[in-house]
Structure 1
């Protein structure tokens, strides 16, 4: 740790529980007081009492509204007249745009040119002016800071400002009022604004509260800082809402001071968590919003026997991506499978295979023959069968039956 870092570590944190209480009074009535509910099924599955905070029920489907609104309400009249600017392609843009329009305050959002059209349209639909610039978020951020100076706008950072942190902290106030027996909070970390605010509020209300930060394995930026590690930050993560390459200068102080631990979760556990929340709780959650549950799935010993609060911090997930996540989860559980079977290319071959599927009561969804692009002899063919079974054991019985009938069969695994 360098000298500057040591000095910063010794300074009082710039957001207190009083700031968070003031933020709650300020934003009350314009933000949904989302429910905190026990999940009996997840509690039984994970060996812990699990509470869920449904922030995906906010109007823009994410907690980011809280900090954005608090920041807007603290602007002076001159700043309100000129408007605000931010760089974001995600939930911060939506929250700022929605509440800016509601307050009659001009909002400009700079997004990379690579931003999906649906996100541009959603942000414009909330009344913001969208400027597309550059190929990466860093390009968009630099352009937003240039426009800030050029047009005299107020820049609103997605996480690294005290007023934003104070607004996000209101999530913990509500959770602990509704479920005072919570003794552990598992909080997703991207830039660290949510953790900073929630951690500050929670420790003031319950000094012995256990605070666990969660990051995606592909973007361990805060983990690297806290653990003095050097893991790479890149890749195409399902949890794009917490895919931040550089932790906040301000928020890292909060995380360093407040976190009991910061842990990483894999893409596979994020997919499983998104799928479980839809199947069990009937709620749609984006990858970042499922990070807390992903941590409980992959670090069970850390949470066993505790009363854990999870924030479903956002529900903005592309429907096609969600469909792929659900189908991949079905495949991993054995309820969907693709089998590659080697056959002789002669009449009746397909009939005899299909008869075994019928005997095992397995539903065939799709067939694909391959005669040309294969290394089998010219009289052989490869048959790919996509099928639906009840569970993994049912699939295993089918494979055994095929092999007992002398078929060469191999499952095609999901990554």
Structure 2
């Protein structure tokens, strides 16, 4: 068995983004993972740790796309069956890509929370191993490896001025936070980005307690958990790290996806566009003007979390939908 399923992804400097913010911008290219996103780090580790064998009845994962892709990929490599439960909001593209990985796809409910309830039911009734998409310490431990790679790439004595991440269920945020702690970079602020309408973390930060959204109204479906995981919320509250929660509109996230495609020649989904939009929409400059980020900012690290839920047809569809 492979030592791990994820790749050590490239850390690229973006000249155009650096020019926009007036400090070097480094892109951690998690879109280059075999499953299309960072999720494979944590899910790969978790599947190895739970001791899956060829005798296993298989894994079940609830996912709007990327966690499911990672679980399906890892299960295929380990020779066990995978059942991925997706909400009806998932595109045909996602369903097809999951099936191409050899997974059985079940559609349940309207949003991720509904699909997750079905996955938990299948765990009970079918004896499948449940793979959580974002809320598990092994996932965060796996995701933390990307910060260790960044530290190795930057070399001794160098560190980011801030890290930009998208937040859905909060697994990436927890992994980055753990990675920063492991690297001794607890003074590096995290800018946690969501789209309005998929903003369960921002709502929780404002309320001072976990909030369950009534619905996911954003087109960034992969950010669509109605409640962020408790550990992510705790990072936003506890003060051991600085976490700045910010929102962009769907239009800003989509515009960021298009600009990134033009300038960096890489297509990512809107969930990832939320983090990119912090640079493209001028939000980083505003945080500097407000004194929430230093005026003299060290290199900006952007986690390009990736995404398997997009192609040119989907991009065109989103443009028309959001212009309407």
* TM-score, normalised relative to structure 2: 0.85
What is the aligned partner in structure 2 of residue 352 from structure 1? none
Q: Equivalent residues in 2 for 1:145-224 (5 A)? A: 145-179=120-154, 180-205=158-183, 206-224=185-203
Superposed displacement of residue 76, structure 1: 2.6
In structure 2, distance between residues paired with 1:142 and 1:107: 17
* Deviation string, structure 1 residues 335-370 (Cα, Å, up to 9, x no partner): xxxxxxxxxxxxxxxxxxxxxxxxxxxxxxxxxxxx
CA-based RMSD: 2.6
Q: Deviations over 1:20-54 (max 9, x none)?
A: xxxxxx97553121111111111112223211111
- Correspondence 1:301 to 2:280: no
Correspondent of 1:86 among 40, 55, 61: 61
1:324 Cα deviation (Å)? 5.4
Higher normalized contact order (CA 8 Å, seq sep 6+, divided by chain length): 2
Alpha-carbon separation, structure 2, partners of 1:231 and 1:77: 33
Q: 2:229 aligns with which of 248, 264, 275?
A: 248
Does the CA-based 8 Å contact 2:140-2:178 persist in structure 1? no
C-alpha distance in structure 2 between counterparts of 1:321 and 1:120, whole Å = 13
Unaligned runs of 5+ in 2: 289-294
**Which of 268, 274, 298 is the equivalent residue of 1:285?**
268
Choose the corresponding residue for 1:99, options 61, 74, 77.
74
CA contact (8 A) 1:220 1:231 kept: no
Contact 1:196–1:255 (Cα < 8 Å) also in 2? no
TM-score (norm 1): 0.68
Distance 1:146 1:126 in 2: 23
Question: Conserved in 1, the CA contact under 8 Å of 2:62 and 2:68?
Answer: yes
In structure 2, relative to structure 1, the CA distance for the partners of 1:88 and 1:232 (3 Å cut) is: closer
Contact 1:274 1:290 in 2 (8 A): yes
1:134 aligns with 2:109: yes
Measure how far apart 1:143 and its partner are. 1.7
Q: CA deviation at 1:74?
A: 0.5
Unaligned ranges ≥5, structure 1: 1-25, 330-413
Distance 1:161-1:185 versus aligned 2 partners, 3 A rule: same
